[in-house]
Structure 1
Amino acid sequence: MPAPTGESAGGSPPPDWHALSAAEVQRELDADPSGLSTGDAEERLQRYGPNVLREEERESRLQVFLRQFKSVLIVILIIAAAVSFFVGEALDAAAILIIVILNALLGYSQEWQAGEAIEALKKMLVQHAVVVRDGERREIDAAALVRGDLVLLDMGERVPADIYIVEATSLQVDEAPLTGESSPVDKTPGSLPVGTPLAERRNMAFAGTTVTNGHGRGFVVATGMQTEFGRIAGLSQRIADETTPLARQMDRLGRDLGLIALGIAALVVVVGLLQQRELLEMFLVGVSLAVAVIPEGLPAVVTLTLAIGIKTMMRRNCLIRHLPVSETLGAVSVICTDKTGTLTRNEMTVVRVRTADTEVAVTGAGYLPMGEFLVEERPIDPLADPGLRQFLRTVLLCNHATLALEEGGWRIFGTPTEGALVVAAEKAGLSRDDAPEPVKEFSFNSTRKRMTTVYREGEGNVAHVKGAPEVLLARSSRVFLGGSVVPLTDELRDALLAEIERYASQGLRVLGAACRPLPAGIEWTVDTVETDLVFLGLAGIVDPPRPEAAEAIRLCRSAGIDVIMITGDNPLTASTIARDLGLSSEGAMTGADLEAMTDDELKERLRTTKVLSRVTAEHKLRVIDILSRDREVIAMTGDGVNDAPALKKASIGIAMGIKGTDAAKESSDMVLVDDNFASIVAGVEEGRREYDNIARFTRYLLSSNVGELVAIVGALLLGLPLILIPVQILWINLVTDGLTALALGLEPAERDVMQRRPRDPQEAILTRNAYLVILILGIWLGLLTIYVFLGLYEVDLDRARTMAFTGLIVFELYNVLNFRSFRFPLHRIGFFSNPALLLAILGSLALQALVVYVPVFNLFLGTAPLTLADWGLLALLGLPVLLAGEVYKNLRLRLGGEAPASD
């Protein structure tokens, strides 16, 4: 007995099942045409295991929660809290820990649904299967299927395992979740050449796909993890989750700040001891400095900003599954996108009808039954044209699809191609509701390539036929021309064949129609009915591009984002859609082309060829690997099981919300609610805005912290008392700075946000120029604070410290306006364009007033009441901080143009 797929007797590799004959498959499997015996099936089940996917150990809720504490900055804050508690600053420690825990809860709430890809894959497997065992038809649990089982397939059922087809009657299978093929695939017995691509293996039915028409039977050749479905699940399991650019940059920033805090604190303690200050006093000063260096509110502000951004993206039809991903979208430099449903409507549409008389253009897209029929761009009445009317009537009667209006729009029940024909007929005013039931039908299959229905009409019967137009022409002797039936001449036949070729070369799916009044008394068989036909014409059918997709691709081009179409469809159709959308590509590459190239050759070809067709899961992973070597940030879209590994591997995995499988959604970072490519581009724009704002408030918070540091160290070097106590620094970092930083995260996108090239994901969030600005502004703020303190500390230390404390907050509130833009002055961006920031400034002032005047706050924060004159002095001292920033930006615009966005 042979081993399961993935191995065979003696450890040799399994056969290429599709390349074998039915007899060879039966012999290889040691199978029986009357089915396995119960005993044999049980023995094989024990040997090979159940037909289920192997599960990875899932993270518990506690593990997901604890993962939120992996950030270096969070670890440093926890250490700071512990030190504060150890030296008796319990209030400081509690404040820091509250922020840390709230930050973790926010991250946990967003990430609990992550990592469920294998669970989703498992759910897609059917729960039962119909088999022949002991010579009898039985329904069993699909998990009990074994290699060699004889399985019966019927319309509407999910295929329970990988099956070699030995019998098929009009059998069609929807393989879109596995291969990306947009149309149901005909299945027929018979061997195929070795190396036939997965999407073209007509003698195989694969686990997780669905039978859409007909019935058949076949032998199970692979179960569980050995199926194509399971193989993809295995690929997903082996792919590790990657850290986002933002997380890496925040960790790097946390490490840098931690080292700086330790270094400065140690240095100051040493200096203080040399000044013969007390050890405990200097230890408290060291703690104050460490608290001043580390922006305690930064993790919470980043998390809250990303959470708010997620809600904004949801309004733009982008459902983000992991917090940092919303920002990572802004760094995307390559979008690898599916075609069907993403760039196109996923609604097959008749766009042309060619009769023997004329060519008619049909307007309208999708399943909405509204549109015009145009001849030379002039509208006509389709029912007034005898040839067009007869063509539309035939394709409507020879059809299984139905059109229905449901909540959310019009929907087709049936195959997309048949649905397109029904919609075209409805546009002309014809309806299936007016038609009787057929009295006879000869079903479509891939051998006949046609379908026939017979209706009782008047005193006789009429056969209506649709199918491959060249097949119908070969069986036609007459043609409908000029309102009557005339002989089909060789000249006219050649002209129609040329039209078929022309339509196909334009990427259209071509379908023909014919009819025949049946003579009385003949026996109705395929050969007697489908002969001597009257050819009526042909239809050109296409899945039309989304109207907004072309503009979205143009916007990508201006934003420096490369777009690559990756589809399971045929190259000609894909190239046509690409051309219609303005996606420039030197031809198209197939999966076979990719396999014939080295990595270097493929890398070079991807620079000019942007259409990839007939690709597999492995091909997608290879493309991602090659692009990643150039440090590209890759967004990959997908909807099927076959897309799950690539979605997990990509920098941003984007699953389709409407037609996407659970496997794709659970492997993704983002779900596209409307399956629309334009929504991805909208998400990129929002991601760029988020990153810009994170950079803004990170630099703002650090400049504030440098101001605190300069004030404390400067006072120490001047031999002054401690200018700010730890709890005051925490109040600034967590409350006043936190409010304004969060509001800064709501800053609208700059007008040219989609005219810039993607940022380098390796570039630090703090550039050299950013460090310079932070130092200059921080030193300025610190020196102003010392100046305020110097005039009062000998008279009233509490009042002097309150003036320094309040002054630093006032100066920082001026400073936050500098960070609204690194390039444009306020009059260019609009003073009131971010009302949340103005409210945050007013709120911070109100909170500081409470701290200054309410006795309970005086007690906890060591403050004393200030006079109105004190507030006025602080306001005047801080005003130049803002004016200097405005003057600098205006001069830079006049002298040297606009500064880089990341400056």
Structure 2
Amino acid sequence: MSQSILERDYTESPAPQRAEPPKIGLSSEQAAELRQKYGANSLASERKARPLRIFMGQFKDVMVMILIIASAVSAFIGEYYDALTIIIIVVLNAVLGFVQEYRTEKTLLALKNMAAPMAKAYRDGHLTVIPASELVPGDVISLEAGDKAAADSVILSAKGLMADESVLTGESVPVSKTAGNTRDTDNSLGKPNIIYSGSIITKGTAAARVIATGVNAQMGRISGMLTDIDEEETPLQKRLGELGKVVAVICLVVCVIVAGAGILKGEPVFDMLMTGITIAIAAIPEGLPATVTIALALAVSRMLKQNALVHKLHSVETLGCTSVICTDKTGTITENKMTVKKAYTHSGDYEFSGQGYRVSGRITSSKGESENIKSSAVLRELLRCGVLCSNADISDDAGDERTIAGNERVIAGDPTEAALLIAAAKGGMNHNAERMAYKRIDELPFDSDVRRMTVIVKDPSGQGMMSYCKGAADVILERCSHILTESGIKELSYSVRKEISDKCGEMSSEALRVLAFAYCPKASKNSPDSGMVFLGLMGMTDPPREEAKKAVRLCRSARIRTVMITGDHKNTAAAVARQAGILTGEGRVITGEEMSKMTDRELENAARDASVFARVSPADKLRIVRAYKRLGHIVTMTGDGVNDAPAVKEADIGVAMGITGTDVTREAADMVLLDDNFATLVSAVEQGRGIYANIRKFVRYLLSCNIGEVLTMFLGIVMGMPMVLLPAQILLVNLVTDGLPAVALGVEPCGEENMKMPPRKKDESFFSGGLMFRIVFRGILIGICTLACFTVMLRTGGSLAAARTGALATLVMSQLFHVFECKSETGNIFTVPYFNNVRLILAVLFSVAVLAAAIYIPFLQMVFTTVPLTGEQLLIAAGLAFAAPLLQCFGAK
């Protein structure tokens, strides 16, 4: 930056000891003293749990505690295989949970990295590049286009300064910054004389004095919000906790009943206690935590293929509970790419098709005819003015290596100026060719005082200089005396001025950002922007994504409410929300100013009808998310900027953008959309609903099977029979025939019916809809049929080993029949689709093969104490196993 920007002393040292000649910036000694006072220019560290503490926290779950106790008891009574198996399962789940949770601890580290790593500051009277962490209040820094501000600073002097503050405010358009009160120390958001930490300088140069660093800067205040947000259990974790309590009660009741029944019959007390404990252990579905983890992990893998990256496994199911999606506007619903949509000239109105930075759109007149620079001299001059009054650059043609798929051009510079180049390209104009023909001599940059930009160029005909100007419509009109028409330059009459003003108001009412354009064919170097010829108006906007519109409709059909939360102006936000289908006739738009006057209870009432929240701060976003959570909703919050991070972390499920999103938002989120596509979120919701349905399916399967096993053992003891199944045989059932089919149920295809039902209520029981009755009823049938096979084989002359083998075969086959019933909560064994899940069929075949091997391979016969069954015995076992689903059809729905 040139020295002229700092012609006078802006330092005003905090505590001058004596009169000294003015100096620029601080001395090294002053900076060191201030660093001791204010600390380093870094963000607050989050309260981090130690790795060991995180790992040990994985064992707090009720179900895990039951498994640990079961493992200890199994080892105590000599069942070492059971004990080892259970411990392996517990440790595996703990490791997976630790890995997922430890990743979330990166949030604040990513936020620290958002600050610029280096800064240009005046130290000891010289401009020096120093680490941004060394900046202190009082430092004078230099900024120019492309720099990222490293601290909140008051502007001392500026030339054509524009800053992109979307990372903090969510507004897509860079804002103009000017010098004001150089003694200002208030770094509240939205001030034109303050540069905020993390913002990007898109145009111009400036000198500024640092007024807030670290946690006192706006970026630091957001980090404080993140630190204050506590993690909550997901709905699935709460429901699994509920399930663990149910299992604990069942185990305790079984143990007491079995031990009590045996003692009353005169059996030894110690033996019956051990028997009761053994049967209680059989009641524990030790494969459940592993099955849940595997099912969630497979769902995460499927979602990754659809461009949704999940940080936390349990977030998959939480997403399926979503009843409200609070979405950011810029870059989420919209493309975050300014696009010219309409233009006005004396020749008529024009519309521009196409989205973003694609040049595949076209220009059409009010008659619906295609237009280009050959068909209208006025349109050609308007587009040329936009090109020349732009410092942006775009990839030139389809062969340019910067051009990406879909005819999308890569841009560099201000988004508004890039939109002008894209509009010209749609009309057939090459911006590089125009700039070569009209070589720039000088520029009067845009600032908030003059509200216009003027460039002076050489006349290609060699007859002197020309000037082109763009800016606010009222400012440009004041400087115009004539207007360009298809028949030449004519005087600008009052009626035409009024027509232009009316047209400007019409465009603004459609939430378009309107710029006016003019030129002077014979420009004076001393007054290049007076006596100009009016060319026309262009209205531009950041349009909604087409896929976002479809996604909003899908959310509505799934009875999920979409609410837009943005820092943009109320009218702009409302217009985009209407185009996207978020704001309908009954919807309400609430501003941050209105929110500031509401109590939390009033905000809750207002949120019931609100579809859009505009001009909101990061703290407002937090209040909104919390209001919907207090109303009983499961809230999903999407965002990309740092301003979204606290609300993203507070929400039940936080979703960040993978392309435009900042590191801090991605790390604070539970899920990242790798393609920034709102439609991907809807697909993830469908997966979330499907995975919960699948978890209910395999929980139903596992609990029914375990109840069947317990009843088999319990009734056998009560009836005075020999032990129906030996511990090794129960272990075989639990590890092989229970586990694999349950995992296969976890990858059942997500049916379309899941997206036609309303979201589940937050307090809905895991066993809602009669699930518990179906589990218990089926478990009783499994137990009775298994016990019947054991009894029949004993009474038909079979040995005790053959009876136990037959009971084992009946138990396994009845469970394998039941796994197909579990595919649907409304169908039965005859109506469910069998072939839509190949993994389930393979798992059942594998289980059948394991059962056959255990019965007919000599070595395994010794391990599991089985004997070969005759054909007749196999038919008895298969018949009784199939009797259970038949009775289920008639006995329960």
Class of the TM-score when normalised by the shorter of the 2 chains = over 0.9
Amino acid in structure 2 at the alignment position of 1:878: A
SS, match of residue 218 in structure 1: strand
Indicate the residue corresponding to 1:798 in structure 2.
801
Indicate the residue corresponding to 2:716 in structure 1.
715
Indicate the residue corresponding to 1:448 in structure 2.
450
SS, match of residue 793 in structure 2: coil
Note the C-alpha offset of 1:60: 4.4
Quote the Cα distance in structure 2 between the aligned partners of 1:109 and 1:238.
23
Note the C-alpha offset of 1:804: 0.9
Amino acid in structure 2 at the alignment position of 1:797: L
Indicate the residue corresponding to 2:378 in structure 1.
387
Contact 1:29–1:148 under 8 Å retained in 2: no
> Structure 2 vs 1, CA of residues 777 and 221 (structure 1 numbering), >3 Å: closer, same or farther?
same
Contact 2:659–2:676 under 8 Å retained in 1: yes
Contact 1:181–1:199 under 8 Å retained in 2: no
Amino acid in structure 1 at the alignment position of 2:319: L
Note the C-alpha offset of 1:33: 6.7
> Structure 2 vs 1, CA of residues 30 and 813 (structure 1 numbering), >3 Å: closer, same or farther?
farther
Q: Is it true that 1:831 corresponds to 2:834 in the alignment?
A: yes
Note the C-alpha offset of 1:454: 2.1
Equivalent positions of 1:661-740 (< 5 A) are 661-740=662-741
Amino acid in structure 2 at the alignment position of 1:783: I
SS, match of residue 439 in structure 1: strand
SS, match of residue 410 in structure 1: coil
Amino acid in structure 2 at the alignment position of 1:226: N
> Structure 2 vs 1, CA of residues 161 and 841 (structure 1 numbering), >3 Å: closer, same or farther?
same
Indicate the residue corresponding to 1:490 in structure 2.
494
Percent of aligned pairs with the same residue?
39
SS, match of residue 653 in structure 1: strand
Q: Is it true that 1:815 corresponds to 2:818 in the alignment?
A: yes
Quote the Cα distance in structure 2 between the aligned partners of 1:878 and 1:706.
15
SS, match of residue 156 in structure 2: strand
Farther-moved stretch of structure 1 (879-888 vs 492-501): 879-888
Quote the Cα distance in structure 2 between the aligned partners of 1:273 and 1:387.
103
Indicate the residue corresponding to 1:396 in structure 2.
387
Quote the Cα distance in structure 1 between the aligned partners of 2:890 and 2:632.
38
Indicate the residue corresponding to 1:18 in structure 2.
none
Note the C-alpha offset of 1:90: 0.9
SS, match of residue 608 in structure 2: coil
Select which of 478, 491, 499 maps to 2:503: 499
Contact 2:63–2:241 under 8 Å retained in 1: yes
Quote the Cα distance in structure 1 between the aligned partners of 2:26 and 2:184.
28
Quote the Cα distance in structure 2 between the aligned partners of 1:887 and 1:150.
84
Count of residue correspondences? 864
Indicate the residue corresponding to 1:610 in structure 2.
611
Indicate the residue corresponding to 2:873 in structure 1.
870
Note the C-alpha offset of 1:29: 8.2
Amino acid in structure 2 at the alignment position of 1:465: C
Indicate the residue corresponding to 1:221 in structure 2.
211
Note the C-alpha offset of 1:280: 5.1
Q: Is it true that 1:201 corresponds to 2:191 in the alignment?
A: yes
SS, match of residue 342 in structure 1: helix
Q: Is it true that 1:269 corresponds to 2:265 in the alignment?
A: no
Quote the Cα distance in structure 2 between the aligned partners of 1:77 and 1:402.
63
Q: Is it true that 1:745 corresponds to 2:746 in the alignment?
A: yes
Quote the Cα distance in structure 2 between the aligned partners of 1:475 and 1:446.
17
Indicate the residue corresponding to 1:848 in structure 2.
851
Note the C-alpha offset of 1:884: 4.7
Quote the Cα distance in structure 2 between the aligned partners of 1:605 and 1:221.
37
Note the C-alpha offset of 1:538: 0.9
SS, match of residue 564 in structure 2: strand
> Structure 2 vs 1, CA of residues 874 and 826 (structure 1 numbering), >3 Å: closer, same or farther?
closer
Contact 1:128–1:142 under 8 Å retained in 2: yes
Farther-moved stretch of structure 1 (110-119 vs 229-238): 110-119
Alignment RMSD: 2.4
SS, match of residue 302 in structure 1: helix
Equivalent positions of 1:158-557 (< 5 A) are 158-191=148-181, 198-279=188-269, 281-376=271-366, 378-383=368-373, 384-404=375-395, 405-408=402-405, 409-434=408-433, 435-436=435-436, 437-456=439-458, 457-459=460-462, 460-519=464-523, 522=524, 524-525=525-526, 528-557=527-556
Contact 2:337–2:357 under 8 Å retained in 1: yes
Quote the Cα distance in structure 2 between the aligned partners of 1:359 and 1:132.
52
Structure 1 gaps, min length 5: 1-21, 893-903
SS, match of residue 660 in structure 1: coil
Contact 2:807–2:877 under 8 Å retained in 1: no
Note the C-alpha offset of 1:24: 12
Q: Which deviations, in whole Å up to 9, do the C-alpha atoms of 1:537-579 show, x marking residues without a partner?
A: 1111111211122222122222221111001111111100111
Q: Which deviations, in whole Å up to 9, do the C-alpha atoms of 1:193-229 show, x marking residues without a partner?
A: 9999955211111112221111111221111111111
Amino acid in structure 1 at the alignment position of 2:506: R
> Structure 2 vs 1, CA of residues 109 and 24 (structure 1 numbering), >3 Å: closer, same or farther?
closer
Contact 2:339–2:540 under 8 Å retained in 1: yes
> TM-score normalised to the size of structure 2?
0.93
Equivalent positions of 1:19-30 (< 5 A) are none
Note the C-alpha offset of 1:860: 2.4
Quote the Cα distance in structure 2 between the aligned partners of 1:777 and 1:279.
32
Note the C-alpha offset of 1:633: 0.6
Q: Which deviations, in whole Å up to 9, do the C-alpha atoms of 1:496-523 show, x marking residues without a partner?
A: 011111101101111121111125xx4x
Contact 1:372–1:379 under 8 Å retained in 2: no
SS, match of residue 364 in structure 2: strand
Indicate the residue corresponding to 2:3 in structure 1.
none
> Structure 2 vs 1, CA of residues 574 and 144 (structure 1 numbering), >3 Å: closer, same or farther?
same
Q: Which deviations, in whole Å up to 9, do the C-alpha atoms of 1:325-373 show, x marking residues without a partner?
A: 0010010111000111211122211111111110011111111111222
Contact 1:285–1:722 under 8 Å retained in 2: no
Structure 2 gaps, min length 5: 1-7, 396-401
Contact 1:793–1:801 under 8 Å retained in 2: no
Select which of 105, 125, 129 maps to 1:115: 105
Quote the Cα distance in structure 2 between the aligned partners of 1:622 and 1:175.
22
Contact 1:192–1:201 under 8 Å retained in 2: no
Q: Which deviations, in whole Å up to 9, do the C-alpha atoms of 1:147-195 show, x marking residues without a partner?
A: 1222222221111111111211111111111111111111112259999
Quote the Cα distance in structure 2 between the aligned partners of 1:817 and 1:671.
35
Quote the Cα distance in structure 2 between the aligned partners of 1:876 and 1:29.
96
Contact 2:187–2:218 under 8 Å retained in 1: no
Quote the Cα distance in structure 1 between the aligned partners of 2:422 and 2:320.
40
Contact 2:47–2:227 under 8 Å retained in 1: no
SS, match of residue 171 in structure 1: strand
Quote the Cα distance in structure 2 between the aligned partners of 1:572 and 1:195.
31
Note the C-alpha offset of 1:631: 1.8
SS, match of residue 331 in structure 2: coil
SS, match of residue 469 in structure 2: strand
Contact 2:817–2:882 under 8 Å retained in 1: yes
Q: Which deviations, in whole Å up to 9, do the C-alpha atoms of 1:254-305 show, x marking residues without a partner?
A: 1221132022112211221222224454244223312222111100000000
Contact 2:821–2:827 under 8 Å retained in 1: no
Contact 2:13–2:138 under 8 Å retained in 1: no
Quote the Cα distance in structure 1 between the aligned partners of 2:249 and 2:62.
11
Quote the Cα distance in structure 1 between the aligned partners of 2:331 and 2:787.
63
> Structure 2 vs 1, CA of residues 386 and 199 (structure 1 numbering), >3 Å: closer, same or farther?
farther
Quote the Cα distance in structure 1 between the aligned partners of 2:826 and 2:187.
53
Q: Which deviations, in whole Å up to 9, do the C-alpha atoms of 1:842-890 show, x marking residues without a partner?
A: 111111111112233222222222223333222222224334555679x
Amino acid in structure 2 at the alignment position of 1:34: I
Indicate the residue corresponding to 1:898 in structure 2.
none
Quote the Cα distance in structure 2 between the aligned partners of 1:88 and 1:212.
73
Note the C-alpha offset of 1:123: 1.1
> Structure 2 vs 1, CA of residues 183 and 810 (structure 1 numbering), >3 Å: closer, same or farther?
same
Contact 1:387–1:483 under 8 Å retained in 2: no
> Structure 2 vs 1, CA of residues 824 and 402 (structure 1 numbering), >3 Å: closer, same or farther?
farther
